[in-house]
Amino acid sequence: MRLKFPISIVVMYCVMLVMSECVPSNQGLGPVTIDDTQEYTETFLETYRQQVEEYFRFEYRKYFDFYANFPYKARATVSDTHGAAIEFEPSNESLLYFRTTEQRIEMAVFPDVDLNMTSLDINATVFIWHGEPSHATFVVNGTGVLSNIICITNKGHFLDLGIGGSLLLLNMNVDGRFYYVMMIKGNNMISSWAEDKAEEEAIKLFEQDLFHAFNQSAEIRRYMAYPILEKLISQIVWKHQHAEEIGYDMLQYYEDLTRIRDLAVTKYHLNSTFVDEILSWLEDIYPKPPEPEWWKIAPYSWILGTIVGVPLTLLLERVIRRAYKSLKRRWRSWRAHRNRNPL
């Protein structure tokens, strides 16, 4: 027996199925809500905290400014017309303030103030707008970072963001107001403020703080330089051990030491005395043999050379073998000590 369904029931079922697929509860197509900003804020802060605590022991975390200032109150501003922003301010407790506005996000968080200034006598990076009235000092359509700048907009305004524009602002002073950390975007859609975006942007802030910590702390520089220097030193040790096979001579050896020293001092800004200690240690455990004196004097007769040379060669071979074994043990002991006691 063949079953027959009314056409109207089939049509209604198809319509309901399409609507259930096309109108999900939350697929990132609408403006961000207070719950979305709460989720973004928590993910951002937790991701940043994890980066610092995963890579740096307790005594080094004080060099990361954003980490040292936990907890935070977050101010979320969502424009109904263009963009959204979340500003972080150090606080005694974790808080979230949420508001919506009809203004573009740039105007909502950076009020238009005319200070009518033409110069500022201060030892800092300063941008003073001298262009046409109502124009922006910065126009951003991609992603970027602005930090440690004083901006006076006068008759212009601070920022124009395209739909795909986003900026991480750090330690900014705009028209007399200080902004510690802010994420601002030209897009107010949920997809632009999702958890994965919070993670990416927290890591970007961590990298900025890492650069600051590197410049401020000799301890951080040592910490970061050790793996690089250790790798380069191990390469020199290998060359030394295979000197005859690869034609590695004393001149190349000292060139390599000079290269390491320059890298450590100029790039990592390590104290030159500290670097010299590292290289002296290397020379102590892997000393280069002195040039044989007999190359500098007239050759002995073949008789004298045979009488003296054969036993001397055998003796020298035994000494080298013992020295090599001793140096190998010391190298392994040092590596084991370094693995047990990282910086």
Q: What is the pLDDT of residues 87-117, one digit of tens each?
A: 999 999 999 999 999 999 999 999 988 888 8
Per-residue model confidence (pLDDT) at position 340: 62
- 76 membership: H or E segment, kind and range: strand 72-79
Closest-CA residue to 183 (of 139, 138, 125, 144): 144
Residue, of 130 and 322, whose pLDDT is higher: 130
DSSP state of 335: H
Q: What is the pLDDT of residues 31-84, one digit of tens each?
A: 999 999 999 999 999 999 999 998 888 888 999 999 999 999 999 999 999 999
Could you give the CA distance from residue 172 to residue 177 in angstroms, rounded to a whole number?
8
**192 close to 184: Cβ distance less than 8 angstroms:** no
Write the burial class of residue 99 (CB in 10 Å: 0-12 exposed, 13-18 middle, 19+ buried): exposed
State percent of the chain over pLDDT 70.
Answer: 69
How confident is the model over 275-304, as pLDDT tens digits? 666 666 556 555 554 444 444 444 444 444
- Per the prediction, the chain carries an average pLDDT of 79
Residues 6+ apart with CB under 8 A from 132: 156
Specify the pLDDT at position 87.
98
> What predicted TM-score, i.e. pTM, was given to this entire model?
0.61
> What mean pLDDT comes out for the span 268-280?
67
**116 vs 153: CA distance, rounded Å:** 8
d(CA 276, CA 338): 19
**CA–CA gap between residue 168 and residue 146 (Å, rounded):** 6
Binning pLDDT at 50, 70 and 90, where does residue 25 land? very low
Per DSSP, 154 falls in state T
Question: CA-based angle 170:175:179, to the nearest 5?
Answer: 25
The structure tokens listed for 312 are 């001397």
Name, in order, each residue with C-beta under 8 angstroms of 46's C-beta and a sequence gap of 6 or more: none
What does the DSSP 8-state code read for residue 31?
Answer: B
- The C-alpha atoms of residue 192 and residue 28 are separated, in whole angstroms, by 8
Tell me the helix, strand and coil percentages in the chain, rounded to 5. Answer: 55, 20, 30
